[in-house]
């Protein structure tokens, strides 16, 4: 069976934005104009396709990234019905709310390009910056779409300036808006020098006009700027241009495509998705400038057997390799595993290997999604995105590959949760259901963690924010029928040390017959940033927040007891020292010890290591760490004083203020522990007119007076 369209005509792209910039509304227009659905769903009516979870429709926010397949023939294509003229889009609509940021991060790994949506009034907002940073890390080429040009206070120039100022100097205008706010009537395309208007009941008829006289001057000026930016990236073109020859439209588009794919230019479009203006031209931009899988460099990974690097081209005749980027519990078919195929093809019913775990799996059914509708397919090809039903071992970030040619692709780094709360089932019947529900939700969402407090035997759930946990508890109730009571949210504190120290642990026990003997000497010190050479050393175990160095000389501690020493230290790190919170960023060196021929055992060394570690900590200046959040409050000017006063009273550090339309945006760093219930407090001090967003920034040492209160509360 062969693919039904060439790989060059495939576009895997995401739609990303800050919460409320109109991302889902834009996705709905994409579905409508590509003919995937016959009516447009609106967020405010609760009728959207990509936001198909009940909570998404109720709250008007996107929680899970939905993958949709659809087809597009370009606006100026005379024969739109001809299948050979159509491009295939796999569109991923991602959430904008910071609590669901991992959805954006993991989607980035499997996208070839992105359309970044901005609010024409607010311009660049905090989550736009975070998403842009994720896209930079993943090297994803982007188009920008300044949306909501019909709103009061919308300004294309101000929003464009905020992109240049806060995201990238490489953004360039592709279009100018005709009018703004209530008078917004269409767009001017600077490359073709035509004006476009969107007519018909749903803006589906795209008509061309001459550029309005009052915009001609600006259009010429900005077109010259656009052409200069394009020819900069092509020496031959640059020479011709300096000689006074303007390149042809086709050559300009080719050079621009190359620069966009290389992340050297980010074209800026504009429109209003809600008023059905401008989205079709953005889709043309996706075809013209965003890469197909063929334009991307070969994916690289490692051979799981030898550890050597290997590369795979995006081609059907290469060995099969794919990355599982999302799990979703489906009420009808069970677990869906979304995967992106990087090379080769795979058929339903065939056997594959999960190279990350080494387990062999049968790929049962394969489905292609249209948000909540699904179509079964027999085979998927290189470059495609699909979902598998019935994979047992696959988790987010695992590599699926051909049995005979295994490869492990780079995984997806999952951020640590910063907030936790106690949860208990209301009835005995809910007890069992709760365990199953939490496991399914944790498989789906890697930032959701479940732990048991060993002292109280209570279940703790941890996540990225209050809203995150609230929605997960709500989903337990709706999707799994679990009624549960929750405690107050609590901050996920950590502990670390500030000074190096040494410690000794000796565990000797005689009980008639065989005794127990374990003896170790350890050095602990604050962990240094990762050094690649050190990482390769055979005697070092290195992870994000932990390093274990085996420096035993002359076999004073036999090899078989080194592993138990490391295990003993790891377990002690989980229990904490100051107030029982997990210890992080500590380097531990085992440098001496002794053993007994008969009495030494793994358990004795494990206990000795734990004792030695605790002993060293007493001298290593252990401290508490707390999560510090990056907070942005947008408020009318008259409440500025109250808002800055309230942030200062919360141990916040104000880092800057700027104008945002008629409002003011205040940026600050504030400890998470001080931010609980801030929504209500902010509403009451601003007559309900101010809003805030926050995201995790870093961990910082807790001041001694606050630490004393936390420790006392834990005792």
Cα 358 to chain centroid, rounded = 26
Helices (H), 111-168: 126-137, 156-166
Q: What is the pTM of this model?
A: 0.71
| CATH number of this structure's domain 7-295 | 3.40.50.300
Interval 309-325: pLDDT, tens: 898 988 888 999 998 88
- Of 41-50, 134-143, 394-403, least confident by mean pLDDT is 41-50
Kindly report the number of other CB atoms within 10 A of residue 405's CB atom.
17
**Mean pLDDT across the stretch 161-179?**
92
Buried b (16+ CB within 10 A) or exposed e, 319-336: ebbbbbbbbbbeeeeebb
**SS3 assignment, position 267:** strand
- Of 122-126, 283-287, 617-621, least confident by mean pLDDT is 122-126
Name the nearest CA neighbour of 152 among 666, 693, 662, 688: 662
pLDDT of 531 reads 47
Does 44 score more than 60 pLDDT? Answer: no
Does 61 score more than 50 pLDDT? Answer: no
pLDDT of 57 reads 36
Q: Map 535-581 to HEC letters.
A: HHCCCEEEECCEEEEECCCCCCCCHHHHHHHHHHHHHHHHHCCCCCC
Is 391 within 8 Å of 335 (Cβ atoms)? yes
Does 509 score more than 80 pLDDT? Answer: yes
Name the nearest CA neighbour of 293 among 85, 89, 131: 89
Report d(CA 348, CA 346) in Å as an integer. 7
CATH for 305-409 (2.40.30.10, 3.30.750.24, 1.20.1250.20, 1.25.40.10): 2.40.30.10
Interval 527-571: pLDDT, tens: 876 544 444 456 666 666 888 999 988 888 998 999 999 999 999
Report d(CA 388, CA 351) in Å as an integer. 12
Name the nearest CA neighbour of 400 among 475, 343, 452, 484: 343
Name the nearest CA neighbour of 641 among 666, 660, 624, 610: 666
Cα 400 to chain centroid, rounded = 21
Length of the chain: 715
% pLDDT > 70, the chain: 88
Annotation: CATH topology of 419-492: Alpha-Beta Plaits (3.30.70)
| CATH number of this structure's domain 627-714 | 3.30.70.240
Task: Identify the helix (H) or strand (E) that includes residue 431.
Answer: helix 428-444
pLDDT of 505 reads 94
Same fold, 305-409 and 495-620: no
Report the range out of 354-358, 430-434, 617-621 with the highest average pLDDT: 617-621
Report d(CA 685, CA 140) in Å as an integer. 41
- Of 58-67, 445-454, 455-464, 611-620, least confident by mean pLDDT is 58-67
Report d(CA 545, CA 529) in Å as an integer. 10
**Mean pLDDT across the stretch 65-83?**
75
Q: Where are the domains of the chain?
A: 7-295, 305-409, 419-492, 495-620, 627-714
**Mean pLDDT across the stretch 228-235?**
91
Domain 495-620 CATH assignment equals 3.40.50.1100 = no
Buried b (16+ CB within 10 A) or exposed e, 91-105: bbbbbbbbbbbbbbb
């Amino acid at each position: 069976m062969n693919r039904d369209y060439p790989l060059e005509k495939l576009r895997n792209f995401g739609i990303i934005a800050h919460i409320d910039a109109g991302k889902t509304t834009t996705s709905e227009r994409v579905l409508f104009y590509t003919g995937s659905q016959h009516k447009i769903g609106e967020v405010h009516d609760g009728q959207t396709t990509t936001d198909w979870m009940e909570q998404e429709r109720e709250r008007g926010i996107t929680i899970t990234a939905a993958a949709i397949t659809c087809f597009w023939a370009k606006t100026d294509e005379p024969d739109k019905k001809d299948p050979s003229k159509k491009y295939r889009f796999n569109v991923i609509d991602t959430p904008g709310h910071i609590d669901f940021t991992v959805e954006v991060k993991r989607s980035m790994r499997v996208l070839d390009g992105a359309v970044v949506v901005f609010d024409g009034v607010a311009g660049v907002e905090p989550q736009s910056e975070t998403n842009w940073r994720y896209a930079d890390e993943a090297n994803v080429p982007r188009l920008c779409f300044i949306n909501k040009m019909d709103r009061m206070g919308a300004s294309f120039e101000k929003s464009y300036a905020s992109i240049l100022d806060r995201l990238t100097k490489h953004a360039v205008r592709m279009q100018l808006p005709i009018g703004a706010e209530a008078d917004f009537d269409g767009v001017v395309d600077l490359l073709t020098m035509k004006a476009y208007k969107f007519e018909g009941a749903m803006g589906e008829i795209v008509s061309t006009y001459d550029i309005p006289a009052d915009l001609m001057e600006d259009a010429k000026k900005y077109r010259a700027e656009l052409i200069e930016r394009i020819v900069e990236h092509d020496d031959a073109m640059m020479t011709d241009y300096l000689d006074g020859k303007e390149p042809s439209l086709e050559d300009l588009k080719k050079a621009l495509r190359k620069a966009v794919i290389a992340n050297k230019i980010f074209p800026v479009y504009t429109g209003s998705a809600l008023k059905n203006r401008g989205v079709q031209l953005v889709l043309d931009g996706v075809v013209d400038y965003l890469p197909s899988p063929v334009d991307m460099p070969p994916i690289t990974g490692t051979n799981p057997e030898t550890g050597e690097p290997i590369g795979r081209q995006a081609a059907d005749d290469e060995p099969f390799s794919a990355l599982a980027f999302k799990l979703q519990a489906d009420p009808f078919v069970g677990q869906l595993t979304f995967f992106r195929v990087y090379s080769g093809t795979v058929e339903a019913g065939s056997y594959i290997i999960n190279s990350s775990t080494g387990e062999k799996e049968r790929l049962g059914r394969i489905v292609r999604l249209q948000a909540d509708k699904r179509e079964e397919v027999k085979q998927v090809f290189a470059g495609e995105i699909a979902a598998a039903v019935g994979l047992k071992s696959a988790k987010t970030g695992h590599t699926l590959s051909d049995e005979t040619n295994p490869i492990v692709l780079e995984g997806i780094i999952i951020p640590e949760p910063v907030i936790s709360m106690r949860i208990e089932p209301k009835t005995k019947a809910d007890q069992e259901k709760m365990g199953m529900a939490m496991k399914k939700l944790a498989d789906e969402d890697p930032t959701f963690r479940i732990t048991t407090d060993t002292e109280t035997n209570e279940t703790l759930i941890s996540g990225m924010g209050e809203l995150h946990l609230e929605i997960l508890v709500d989903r337990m109730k709706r999707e799994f029928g679990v009624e549960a009571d929750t405690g107050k949210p609590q901050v996920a504190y950590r502990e670390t040390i500030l000074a190096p120290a040494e410690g000794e642990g000796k565990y000797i026990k005689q009980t008639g017959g065989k005794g127990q003997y374990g003896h170790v000497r350890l050095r602990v010190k604050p962990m240094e940033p990762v050094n690649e050479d050190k990482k390769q050393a055979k005697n070092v175990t290195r992870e994000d927040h932990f390093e274990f160095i085996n420096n035993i000389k002359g076999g004073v501690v036999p090899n078989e007891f080194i592993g138990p020493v490391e295990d003993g230290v790891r377990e002690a790190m989980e229990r904490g020292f100051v107030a029982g919170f997990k210890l992080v960023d500590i380097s531990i060196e085992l440098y001496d010890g002794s053993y007994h021929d008969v009495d030494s055992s793994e358990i004795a060394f494990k206990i000795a290591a734990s004792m030695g570690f605790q002993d060293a900590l007493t001298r290593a200046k252990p401290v508490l760490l707390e999560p510090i959040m990056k907070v942005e409050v947008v408020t009318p000017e008259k409440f500025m004083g109250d808002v800055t006063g309230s942030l200062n009273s919360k141990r916040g550090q104000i880092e800057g203020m700027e104008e945002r339309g008629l409002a003011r945006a205040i940026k600050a760093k504030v400890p998470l522990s001080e931010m609980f219930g801030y929504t209500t407090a902010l509403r009451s001090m601003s007559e309900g007119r101010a809003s805030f967003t926050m995201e995790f920034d870093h961990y910082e040492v807790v001041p001694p007076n606050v630490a004393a209160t936390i420790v006392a509360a834990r005792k």
